[in-house]
Chain A
Amino acid sequence: MANIGPVLRYPPAVLSASFLSLVLVTASARAAPFVPAADSQVLATVPARASDPRARELVTLRAAWRAQPDDVGAAVRLAQRYFDEVAAEGDPRYVGYAQAALQPWWALNSPPVAVRVLRAMLLQFNHRFDAALVDLDGAVAAEPGNANAWSWRTAILMVQARYAEARLSCQQMAALTTPLVAVACRAQVDAATGPAGPAAAALRAALQASPGASPDERLWCLTRLAETEERRGAFAAAEAAFREALAIGIPDVYLQAAYADFLLDRGRPAEVLVLLKDRGRADVLLLRLAQAAKATGDRSATSLAAELAARFDAARRRGDATHRKEESRFTLAVQGDVARALALAQANFADQREPVDARILLEAALAARDAAAARPALDWMAASGIQSVALQPLADALGGRK
């Protein structure tokens, strides 16, 4: 995959114990501004316009948009392309660039459908799920055949634990997409609302029935399969699915984070340090690295924790509350501040209700010996009917599942 986003001057430095000295160089450089030693010194890395075709394509699209900023076609093409970069790199700067392209329509109640779907995608990125759903409902009402809008709608409904609506959304989408995606969509709802076994079996069968599926599709379905197997305690099957997904070779932050969590839960933190070496630019992966370094007693543990704390601090300074899930885990597992971790987990669960969000709340409540604080997560478990070998012991320890 082409390297698009910017790279820190010492990207690997913050990630590996063997580069600890460079971490210190970075840290000391941060303490005071400096004059670089030579004109040839590289300060930052950006998409290479001269050689990288993706970067060139972006430059061309941006020039077209600049020439006619009021042309909805040019704006949507550019914004969509920027959003693809978010997918490739997980870099939030592209969210702002995409929003700028849509500026003439951004404040309209009912912009053109293509703009509306993109606006929803950008809104959900900043956790404005309700506003995003309003746009997606408007988009599918105007264009019932818009598979992209249905797909986003389903994903947000899942995050909000609105499973009946998510199931209906999957049904609407089924006729508009491939059989594999249709099955996987249904299976993820099934796995969130009942026993994991049948959902895993359905996913596995659909994967076997679609040998020609694209790598992206396979990666997504294998990740779902691994999580579902893990949820019912079939760890060998889960690990096999994780490894098959990783072997596809597409760098995917979500997949790597999920596998790292799997390894941490199995008591194999040393493997996390290897898996995520050089991947710490993403905060979610740096979090797993910091946890693994702490668990193994690695020399880098202190500097990784400091780096992550600095990033959370930077996010907080800009008023960004979308980090609470990771920050709660970091605060509890690395810093040991139970009260703060619980407050973050509670705020996060009010925003997002996926299994991982419930787990963070249960763990923080358990550490704080505050069963009442865990109530929303326990209620969610009871209402959804989810099966999870990770969540159930926590719920039992907190006084049972009701």
Chain B
Amino acid sequence: MKPLCCLVALLLAVLAGGAAQAHKPSDSYLAITVEGGQISGRWDIALRDLDFAIGLDADGDGQITWGEVRAQHAAIAAYAAARLQLQAGGVDCPLAIGSQLVDEHTDGAYTVMPLRFACPPGGAPEVLALRYTLFADIDPQHRGLLNLRAGSLTRSALFGPQEAQQTFVLAEASRWKQLLDYAREGIWHIWIGFDHILFLLSLLLPAVGVWTRRRWQPVARFAPALWDVLRIVTAFTLAHSITLSLATLGWVSLPSRLVESSIAASVVLAALNNVWPVFHGRRWVVAFAFGLVHGFGFATVLVDLGLPQGALAVALLGFNLGVEAGQLAIVSAFLLLAYPLRRSAFYRRAVLLGGSLLIAVVAAGWLVERAFNVKLLPF
């Protein structure tokens, strides 16, 4: 055994204890900015690392000139682009690298690459996934230092062979926007969802009165009417929130044809109950029972809208709040109109009886359409 090897070892161990950090390990500096749907960035990679990977010093004289670097710009861009993948909201965004500049860092000259990620249109992404494998095969000590900016949010992260794939949930600020977006969808859906409105109306129409000896009598005071309305709406809301959540989370699923037919049937039954009353003061039970079915209907809409991964709860809450807001508007309008009219013969005959019959007929039409998959009505 040569003694020199041992000596170098002793020498180096001292180096490790004291002078190990001469020069610097290899890092690249990656800055990514998300502005709306635009994702751009800048990537600084050390020229000496690129020389080691793909060879920049063409004449081998030990000096990397600007001319030598320029001649390899396309090769550098191709090498780098193959080692950085970005997904926005689960969709690949191909990377385009612009014309390269030079910058100095603490350990020398770096090439500076402007980055542009071509994401499919669709607004600001909620989640970014990055896969970074630069130099992983030739220098496992290499690290990629990411600085990520999205709106007011700034994140930094470290990439290496053990942590090549990382996911970033972007700004909490945009969570608000997301919540509002889904709330708007919820309002819109209750507004155009005639079946839900008619079901609710059928249960509400008798609320400005009470059934006594099989006859409907207008209430004397506002409070009992309001109380009845509140019970019905709360029961409906509670019920459809439960099934909406269960179905959206994928824990329960029912065939959509069965769901839609049942919703139509629920409207028919609720309307006929006003002509031939069966449930009397227990209409909130009906609201709850059929509310469960309506929740499955809402879930179909929500799933069709597309659910953001990692923000399911936000979507669910927003959509639900939207549906409630829409309902509240309908209920308020109903009470404002119906309460003053409750004593009139018009209300009792035309609205309560006539209206209910009309609702029952329309809903029966839907029932046939949905159950047998045919088209009868224009809406």
Contacts and interface: CB of A to CB of B under 8 A. Distances in A.
Given A46-B62, A152-B13, 5 more contacts: A6-B108, A39-B67, A39-B70, A96-B25, A181-B7
B329 to A, nearest CB: 53
A387 interface: no
B4 interface: yes
B91 to A, nearest CB: 30
Contacts of A284: 18-19, 21-22
B12 A50 contact: no
B139 interface: yes
Contact of B62 (A55, A92, A281): A55
A204 interface: no
Contacts of B64: 42-46
A87 B102 contact: no
A135 interface: no
B6 A176 contact: yes
Interface string A209-226: 000001011011000000
A284 B51 CA distance: 27
A315 B24 contact: yes
Contacts of A19: none
B3 A181 contact: yes
Interface stretch (A270-278, A293-301, A319-327, A331-339): A319-327
Contact of B140 (A50, A100, A177): A100
A30 interface: yes
Nearest to A47: B62
Contact of A354 (B17, B139, B141): B17
A39 B73 CA distance: 13
A257 B18 contact: yes
B139 A124 contact: no
A310 B104 CA distance: 12
A267 interface: no
A374 interface: no
Interface string A69-104: 000000000000001101101111101110110010
Contact of B27 (A100, A158, A317): A317
Contacts of B192: none
A379 to B, nearest CB: 20
Contacts of A178: 3
B210 to A, nearest CB: 72
A26 B104 contact: yes
B83 to A, nearest CB: 15
Interface stretch (A143-151, A232-240, A393-401): A143-151
A254 B15 contact: yes
Contacts of A35: 101-102
Given A92-B21, A96-B139, A103-B140, A121 B145 contact: no
Interface on chain B toward A: helix, strand, loop, or mixed SS? mixed
Given A30-B103, A90-B19, A319-B143, A96 B13 contact: no
A33 interface: yes
B311 interface: no
Interface of B: 1, 3-27, 46-49, 51-52, 57, 59-67, 69-70, 101-109, 112, 135, 137-143, 145, 156, 158
11 contacts: A43-B69, A43-B102, A46-B52, A97-B138, A99-B140, A127-B16, A151-B9, A216-B11, A254-B11, A281-B23, A317-B27
Contacts of B107: 6, 8, 314
Nearest to A41: B66
Interface string A174-208: 00111001001100000000000000000000000
Contacts of B4: 214, 216-217
Given A34-B102, A176-B6, A39 B66 contact: yes
A32 interface: yes
A339 to B, nearest CB: 23
Q: What 5 A-B pairs come out closest when comparing CB atoms?
A: A155-B13, A48-B62, A90-B22, A39-B67, A96-B141
A382 interface: no
Nearest to B17: A159
Interface of A: 5-9, 26, 29-30, 32-36, 38-52, 55, 83-84, 86-87, 89-93, 95-97, 99-100, 103, 106, 121, 124-127, 145-148, 150-152, 154-156, 158-159, 173, 176-178, 181, 184-185, 214, 216-217, 219-220, 252-254, 257, 281-285, 307, 310-311, 314-315, 317-320, 322-323, 325-326, 352, 354, 356
Contact of B1 (A5, A41, A176): A176
A217 B13 contact: no
A40 B63 CA distance: 10
Contact of A220 (B11, B18, B20): B11
B138 A44 contact: no
Nearest to B15: A254
A46 B105 contact: no
Contacts of B9: 121, 148, 151-152, 155
A92 B23 contact: yes
B362 to A, nearest CB: 67
A314 B24 CA distance: 9
A9 B104 contact: yes
Contacts of B3: 147, 177-178, 181, 214, 217
For B14, B48, B70, B135, the residue with the greatest tally of chain A CB atoms inside 10 Å of its CB is B14
A314 B105 contact: yes
B336 to A, nearest CB: 63
Contact of B6 (A44, A147, A322): A147
Contact of B13 (A126, A146, A156): A156
A150 B3 CA distance: 12
Contacts of A46: 48, 51-52, 57, 62-64
Contacts of B21: 90, 92, 282-284, 315, 322-323, 326
A93 B17 contact: no
Contact of B102 (A26, A33, A106): A33
Q: Which of A38, A100, A152, A315 has the most CB of B within 10 A?
A: A100
Nearest to B1: A147
A217 B109 CA distance: 37
Nearest to B12: A87
User: Which of B6, B46, B137, B140 neighbours the largest number of chain A CB atoms within 10 Å of its CB?
Assistant: B6
Given A35-B101, A93-B139, A159 B5 contact: no
Nearest to A5: B23
Nearest to A95: B141
Contacts of A90: 15, 19-23
A17 B126 CA distance: 51
B158 A177 contact: no
A89 B23 contact: yes
A32 B44 CA distance: 12
A116 B22 CA distance: 25
A8 B65 CA distance: 13
